[in-house]
Structure 1
Amino acid sequence: MTWLRGYAVLYLLFLYAPIILLPIFAFNDSTIIAFPLSGFTTQWFSEIPNTPALVKSVQTSVIIALTTAVLSTTLGICAARAGAKYTFPLKAPILGFIMLPLVLPEIIVAVSMLVVLLALGLPLGSWTVVLGHTLICTPFCIAILNSAFANLDPSLEEAAIDLGETRASTFRLITLPLVMPGIIAAMLISFTISLDEFIIAFFLTGTEPTLPVYLWGQLRFPQKIPVVMALGTILVVLSIILLILAEMARRRGLHRTGTQDSGGFL
């Protein structure tokens, strides 16, 4: 299987080569993004706080990502709980319809939402980006939380109810702590997706662009590219950290329920 290993290595190089080049040029002492490198510098990182529009876009993206994470995880908890515990008419089609944004092209989702919002006469702004991001992040949260609720032993809830707890208090005191690692993983994943998402934000943003939209606009100015590279390096590191934390939370949840790890979030 030597050829298969070689293919895997070439595929990974093709996939991650741009990310590897990002920090290289972020520390390059030149505004020209090309080899050979002219020298080492941290100047571009120090210029990030001195760009008010950039700082504002970061604040906007963080607020939108936090709001999206809370909303999509809350909706994911409700849907995953209903799918794992209850039986109701048209259960499979309804759950499949909820998961549809996973396979729909984001450009279709963005244009459709833009048409609807303009037809209703609603102004574009941060809240419309939150709606769009919640729509695409909720299926990811459901996919993560499905396994958390499916692996939960129902006898634990039944025992709590037999001992006098209400269904609400049982869910709050027993169920939520057991699935909390899955909830944390879902929030971290949705936060990362929202923070990095561009297409929906590009179509639905108002006067306050998110960070990806702002960076896209700055690519027209070559002298701004090194600062963009520096910020991109920070975002890549942040995304990797969040994904590692999400994976640790997911594995901790599987360990607490005694379920065998099948690998990966989905």
Structure 2
Amino acid sequence: MRSVMRLFPGLTTYAVLYLVFLYLPVLLLPLFSFNDGTIVAFPIEGFTLKWYAQLAEASTMLQSLVNSLIVGSVTAVLATALGLFAARAYVRYRFRGREVSEGLVMLPLVIPGIIVASSMLVLFISVGLRPSLTTIILGHVFIALPFSVSIMKSAFDDFDQSLEEAAFDLGESVFGTFRRVTLPIVSPGIIASLLVTFTVSFDEFVLAFFLSGNQPTLPVYIWSQIRFPAKLPNTLALGSLLLLFSILLLLIAEYFRRRSVKAAA
């Protein structure tokens, strides 16, 4: 790394400027959430917590928060369960069509969200499913599955297969070995997958906008509020809390991902 810095002396400056450009707008979000005025501009008129206090009185916002929690929790469980068995198959076995199926699982990462959302809306309506929390969950599982598979593959990559073979030699069944040996070792990866997929679902907007109907999730609610200048301070306060919540979840997920890597090593 140091040799690279010597060859490109301006690389450090570029990296710093890039990070400032990337994260400065995010840091301004909580700053203006404490502004006493309703106009997002410098200088700040004063310090206040009233915008945070008003959030507790917004019944529509609270209902959309409940919707997001339901969708995120169910999505995390379903995506992690599917990702667990898919990752185990990709790492442990060699079968015809393995590379193709793995590529299809990862496809949602490169398909534009607007294409996925509009296609799913047409599909669900054609089979008789009205836009609701159920359709949002199905859509979110589709886009969260690649994240789960990637995390669980890293948990299974260095898994010592001889541990399972020893359990079989001792008379344990396939299910018992999976429950008593495999799951405890990859459990940090499972927790990391749950947290990451929950965050992906909780923050997702495009699919939720197309598939929510009259049951909006929190991102859809926020989008509906930022069109009105009087609602902007409350939205900034809510966005600051969501930012803190998302960072916390990702830090916990990274902690358990590293524990999974160490346990498998």
TM value normalised by structure 2: 0.96
Look up the equivalent residue of 2:35 and give its one-letter code.
Answer: N
Task: Kindly provide the CA deviation profile for residues 129-167 of structure 1, in whole angstroms up to 9, marking residues without a partner as x.
Answer: 001110000000000100111110000000000000011
Q: Structure 1: which amino acid aligns with 2:158?
A: N
Q: Give me the whole-angstrom Cα distance separating, in 2, the residues matched to 1:232 and 1:9.
A: 25
Name structure 2 gaps, 5 residues minimum: 1-7
Aligned-partner Cα distance in 1 for 2:181–2:251: 26
Q: Say yes or no: does 1:234 pair with 2:247.
A: no
- Asked if 1:214 is matched to 2:218, the reply is no
Q: Report whether the alignment pairs 1:79 with 2:79.
A: no
List per-residue Cα deviations over 1:178-235 (Å, max 9, x = no partner).
0000000000000011111001101111111000001100112111110100010001
Which stretch shows the higher mean deviation, 60-69 or 11-20?
Answer: 11-20
- The reply to whether residue 246 of structure 1 matches residue 248 of structure 2 is no
1:196 aligns with 2:234: no
2:33 alignment partner, one of 16, 26, 30: 26
Distance in 2 (CA, whole Å) between partners of 1:126 and 1:138 is 18
Structure 1 residue ranges, 4+ long, deviating more than 3 angstroms after superposition: none
Unaligned segments of structure 1, at least 5 residues: 259-266
* Equivalences, count: 258
SS of equivalent to 2:60: helix
Q: CA deviation at 1:106?
A: 1.0
Aligned residue type for 1:220: R
Shift of 1:98: 1.1
**Aligned positions of 1:56-205 closer than 5 A:** 56-205=63-212
Which amino acid in 1 is paired with 2:240? T
Partners of 1:175 and 1:128 in 2: how far apart? 32
**Residue 255 of structure 1: how far off its partner (Å):** 1.4
Amino acid across the alignment from 1:215: I
* 1:24 positional shift: 0.6
Q: Which residue, out of 30, 35, 43, partners 2:42?
A: 35
Percent of pairs identical after alignment? 51
Question: Structure 1 residue 120: deviation in Å?
Answer: 2.1
RMSD: 0.8
Instruction: Indicate conservation of the 8 Å contact 2:129/2:135, yes or no.
Output: no
Could you tell me how far apart the structure 2 residues matched to 1:49 and 1:59 are? 13
